[in-house]
């Protein structure tokens, strides 16, 4: 308690003096990030002030982002640079990597297939064929829903003609899909339930809409259905955002049984499921069944989003969305108000690419390449980090989500900075949380854009850095 002692000055309210003192202690790391602050009565007695003064103090700390209150547990310190400042630092680093400034780095932050595997020549042939076939029409705006040929191909190839083409809306990637759904459905203070952790882009959109964001933890088996229903009972949830396969970042996939349970609850508690079908093309474990929420939906409760950008090529910004009948018009209007039309040429090219069977060939090729990389990544993680971390074995996708064991006194932000100094880049878990210290022990490792030699070298470096912080050697 001695560190909380201070002498009060005349003219400065005591709660202001105490809050400023505690902020300095937090900034100087004398109060650790996530450390529990003294109970109100105990600190009031120590500083010889009344309880209400400490109540005001803690309210100031919470309002200024230096503390967080956990109901029934107490008030905990939160270093501001652990979150907002670090997010800026991380974002700036990734921008430099994207611009080519960090070519010397072993980059585990990549989230898309390596462009080296993209079939440039065959796609160029398809583009030329589209231009020869359609002429100037290939460059003009199409109907608001998107190019009819592509919507027809999507319905036939991916949905066995079970989805009407007029129910398919072409979009410019999953991020735009989340954005236009939010504009159409979510108003200020509407409650949106998200997995914890989850995709940071979705969190940004929901925050921008000023939604009330509720979180439910994701474990090795996905969300806990009993906890899920408790949240539904206490809150008027409008939408539940989920990634059904190889969830970003945890890598978990929902079983068919759990999907059916969630769909049943959606009907009972009157909420809608925003399904972001992420990287489900890359299933390596044959025990994982492909059955989306949308394919199991019997009560029109699912808003389905699929992006071709992640799996195909990020520069080709195309995806599609299937809304429930109830929101079809409002979501389509939201899309039109956002950008009128997604690239006509790219839509036509993708349509031809799919109908020629080239899409299936490409996905089969990626599965062969990445299943080998996935197994190698799993092997080196086990070999070099076996006593330092635990991780979910996703069975597909392009990344692993790793937790640093408690006997090592280092968090993922510190590991990010130290690894960066060794020319290795990782993705700290804090990026995927609304506002929580829970992500400090986690980090994500993508393997899509690194060769096997650098995967092994990078994991060795990470292992050595963590080892330096073993509490009991």
Report the CATH number at residue 246. Answer: 3.40.640.10
Quick one: 319 and 352 in the same domain? yes
What is the per-residue pLDDT across 192-210, written as a single tens digit (0 to 9) for each?
999 999 998 999 999 999 9
Rounded Cα gap, residues 142 and 424, in angstroms: 45
In a domain, 473, yes or no: no
189 and 211 in contact (C-beta within 8 Å)? yes
The radius of gyration of the chain's CA atoms, rounded to the nearest angstrom, is: 25
C-alpha–C-alpha distance, residues 33 and 25, integer Å: 10
Tokens representing 77 are 């310190």
**What single string gives the DSSP state of each residue in 18-31?**
HHHHHHHHHHTTSS
Taking each helix axis from N to C terminus, what angle separates 14-27 and 51-63, rounded to the nearest 10 degrees?
50
pLDDT at position 7: 85
**Cα distances (Å, whole numbers) of residue 316 to 104, 175, 247, 337:** 27, 13, 22, 21
Residues 11 and 131 in one domain: no
* Strand ranges (E), 124-267: 169-171, 191-196, 212-217, 237-242
Residue-wise pLDDT tens digits, 315-343: 778 999 999 999 999 999 898 887 766 78
**β-strand 237-242 against 191-196: which pairing, if any?**
parallel
Q: In this structure, are 429 and 316 located in the same domain? A: no
Per the CB < 8 A criterion, the answer to whether 211 and 191 are in contact is yes
How many other CB atoms are there within 10 angstroms of residue 274's CB atom?
25
- Residue 406 in any domain: the answer is yes
> Do residue 312 and residue 169 come from a single domain?
yes
Assigned domain for 322 exists = yes
In the block, residue with structure tokens 């409650």: 191
Residues 290 and 149 placed together within one structural domain of the fold:
yes
Q: 232 and 106: one domain?
A: no
Residue where a domain stops, chosen among 306, 334, 359:
359
- Tell whether 209 and 293 lie within a shared domain: yes
Claim to verify: residue 319 and residue 380 sit in the same structural domain: no
> Looking at the domain assignment, is residue 472 inside a domain?
no
Domain housing 157: 120-359
What does the longest C-alpha to C-alpha distance in the chain come to? 84
Give the CATH number of the domain where residue 106 resides: 3.90.1150.10
Closest CA to 331 of 200, 466, 168, 195: 168
- Looking at the structure of the chain, the number of domains it has is 3
The angle at the Cα of 10, spanning 5 to 16, to the nearest 5 degrees, equals: 55
In a shared domain, residues 331 and 401: no
353 and 253 belong to one structural domain: yes
419, 348: one domain: no
Which residue ranges in the chain fall short of pLDDT 70? Answer: 80-85, 98-102, 141-142, 314, 340-341, 435-438, 471-473
Residues 314 and 178 in one domain: yes
């Amino acid at each position: 308690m001695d560190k909380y002692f201070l002498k009060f000055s005349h003219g400065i309210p005591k709660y202001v003096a105490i809050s400023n003192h505690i902020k300095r202690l937090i900034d100087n790391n004398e109060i650790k990030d996530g450390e529990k602050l003294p109970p109100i009565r105990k600190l009031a007695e120590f500083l010889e002030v009344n309880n209400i003064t400490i109540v005001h103090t803690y309210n100031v700390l919470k309002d200024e982002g230096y503390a967080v209150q956990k109901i029934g547990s107490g008030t905990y310190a939160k270093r501001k640079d652990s979150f907002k400042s670090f997010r800026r630092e991380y974002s700036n680093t990734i921008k430099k990597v994207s611009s080519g400034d960090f070519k010397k780095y072993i980059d585990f932050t990549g989230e898309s297939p390596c462009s080296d595997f993209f079939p440039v020549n065959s796609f160029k042939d398809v583009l030329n064929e589209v231009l020869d076939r359609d002429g100037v029409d290939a460059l003009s705006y199409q109907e608001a829903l998107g190019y009819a040929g592509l919507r027809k191909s999507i319905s036939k190839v991916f949905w066995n003609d079970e989805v009407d083409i007029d129910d398919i809306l072409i979009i410019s990637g999953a991020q735009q899909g989340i954005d236009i759904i939010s504009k159409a459905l979510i108003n200020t203070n509407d409650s949106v339930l998200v997995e914890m952790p989850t995709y940071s882009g979705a969190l940004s959109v929901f925050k921008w809409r000023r939604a009330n964001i509720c979180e439910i933890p994701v474990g090795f088996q996905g969300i806990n259905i009993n906890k899920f229903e408790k949240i539904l009972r206490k809150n008027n949830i409008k939408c539940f955002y989920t990634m059904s396969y190889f969830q970003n970042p945890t890598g978990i996939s929902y079983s068919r049984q759990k999907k059916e349970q969630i769909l049943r609850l959606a009907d009972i508690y009157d909420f809608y499921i925003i399904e972001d079908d992420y990287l489900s093309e890359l299933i390596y474990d044959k025990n994982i069944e492909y059955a989306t929420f949308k394919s199991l939906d019997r009560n029109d409760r699912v808003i389905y989003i699929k992006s071709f950008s992640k799996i195909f090529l990020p520069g080709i910004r195309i995806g599609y969305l299937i809304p429930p009948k109830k929101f079809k018009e409002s979501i389509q209007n939201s899309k039109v108000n956002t950008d009128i039309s997604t690239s006509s040429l790219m839509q036509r090219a993708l349509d031809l690419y799919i109908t020629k069977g080239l899409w299936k060939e490409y996905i089969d090729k990626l599965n062969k390449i990445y299943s080998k990389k996935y197994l190698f990544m799993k092997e080196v993680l086990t070999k070099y980090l076996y006593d330092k971390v635990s991780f979910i074995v996703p069975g597909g996708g392009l990344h692993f989500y790793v937790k640093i064991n408690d006997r090592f006194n280092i968090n993922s932000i510190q590991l990010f900075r130290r690894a960066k100094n060794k020319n290795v880049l990782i993705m700290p878990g804090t990026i995927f949380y609304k506002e929580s210290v829970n992500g400090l022990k986690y980090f994500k490792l993508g393997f899509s854009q690194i060769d096997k030699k650098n995967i092994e070298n990078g994991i060795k470096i990470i292992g050595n850095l963590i080892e330096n912080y073993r509490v009991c050697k």
